[in-house]
Amino acid sequence: NAGVMQNPRHLVRRRGQEARLRCSPMKGHSHVYWYRQLPEEGLKFMVYLQKENIIDESGMPKERFSAEFPKEGPSILRIQQVVRGDSAAYFCASSATVAGDSPLHFGNGTRLTVT
Amino acid sequence: AQSVTQPDIHITVSEGASLELRCNYSYGATPYLFWYVQSPGQGLQLLLKYFSGDTLVQGIKGFEAEFKRSQSSFNLRKPSVHWSDAAEYFCAVGPPAGTASKLTFGTGTRLQVTL
């Protein structure tokens, strides 16, 4: 039973380019979450999605960032016109249900470096 | 707003010694509480969780944690540390009902184990 799969593991982009991060949740999980981890900090919630719906995007920056979880295929976190401050590790997590007793299962993350 | 404090940024223990990592939370009601472990370059792995009931919860890898409502704490313990336990440990709090999306993480405690 494969866990949460994220790719790529490492991504290097120049300032102004676009970054696309992919996440395939665990089999049977329909709830996907994106978190960002800055150096020496904990994880900060960004967005929570279910299939074809954004449920909570209260942690997403207002500009340049977007997320989707289509009916078919992985969830995508998209960062347009990247800046150096976007350099971080981006983690995806999935859960089976929305109930509080359904823990999050994390992927190994995508480490984005903006040069 | 909910918050999590992990007062120890870095802890060093000798292999075989006991371990206690501190976690204090701020929340209006009894939250759901979690401990996650992150090895270098990896995602987060769930060690244990508390939802209700017995305030002493057992987790994987020999870890346990005790929920103390009066102290708003959820400290992680292990009686005898192994070198492979060296990693970063994150405490997290979530709302007791409904959305698991709003997990709030502490800034982490980095554990170093000396032989």
Alpha-carbon span A86 to A80, nearest angstrom: 10
Q: What pLDDT was estimated at residue B79?
A: 97
* Phi, psi values for residue A86, rounded to 5°: -80, -10
Check whether A101 has a pLDDT greater than 90.
no
**Percent helix, strand and coil across chain A, each rounded to 5?**
5, 50, 50
Determine the pLDDT at residue B28: 72
Residues 6+ apart with CB under 8 A from B101: A31, A33, A45, A48, A55, A56, A98
B6-39: pLDDT as tens digits: 999 999 999 999 999 999 998 877 788 999 999 9
| Alpha helices (H) in chain A, listed in sequence order | none
**DSSP, residue by residue, B13-39:** EETTS-EEE--EEE-SS--EEEEEEE-
Interface of B with A (CB under 8 A): 4, 32, 34, 36, 41-46, 49, 51, 90, 94-108
Contacts of B41 in chain A (CB under 8 A): 108
* Chain A contact set for B43 (CB, 8 A): 4, 6, 91, 106-109
Model confidence band, residue A91 (pLDDT cutoffs 50, 70, 90): very high
Q: How confident is the model at residue A53 (pLDDT cuts 50, 70, 90)?
A: very high
Residue with the bigger pLDDT between B95 and A77: it is A77
Percent of chain B with pLDDT over 90: 70
Q: Does A43 touch chain B (CB under 8 A)?
A: yes
**Interatomic CA distance for residues A74 and A88, integer angstroms:** 21
Distance from CA of A15 to the nearest CA of B (A): 24
List the structure tokens of A27. 């089999």
Predicted confidence at residue A18, as pLDDT, reads 98
Do you find a cis peptide bond into A8, omega within 30 degrees of 0?
A: yes
User: pLDDT tens across B84-94, in order?
Assistant: 999 999 999 88
User: Which of the 8 DSSP states describes residue A25?
Assistant: P
Say if A113 is an interface residue toward chain B (CB within 8 Å): no
How many whole angstroms separate alpha carbon A81 and alpha carbon A5? Answer: 25
Residues A33-46: tens digit of each pLDDT = 999 998 777 889 99
Q: Which of B49-53, B56-60, B68-72 has the lowest mean pLDDT?
A: B49-53
Q: Cβ–Cβ of A95/B45 closer than 8 Å?
A: no
pLDDT for B98 beyond 60? no
Answer whether B43 sits within 8 Å of A48, measured CB to CB: no
Which of B96, B97, B100 is nearest residue A104 as measured by Cβ atoms? B100
- pLDDT of A103: 79
* Burial (Cβ within 10 Å: 0-12, 13-18, ≥19) of residue B64: middle
Q: How far apart are CA B90 and CA A35, in angstroms?
A: 14
Separation of alpha carbons B114 and B22, rounded Å: 20
pLDDT at A97: 78
Region A75-102: what's the mean pLDDT? 89
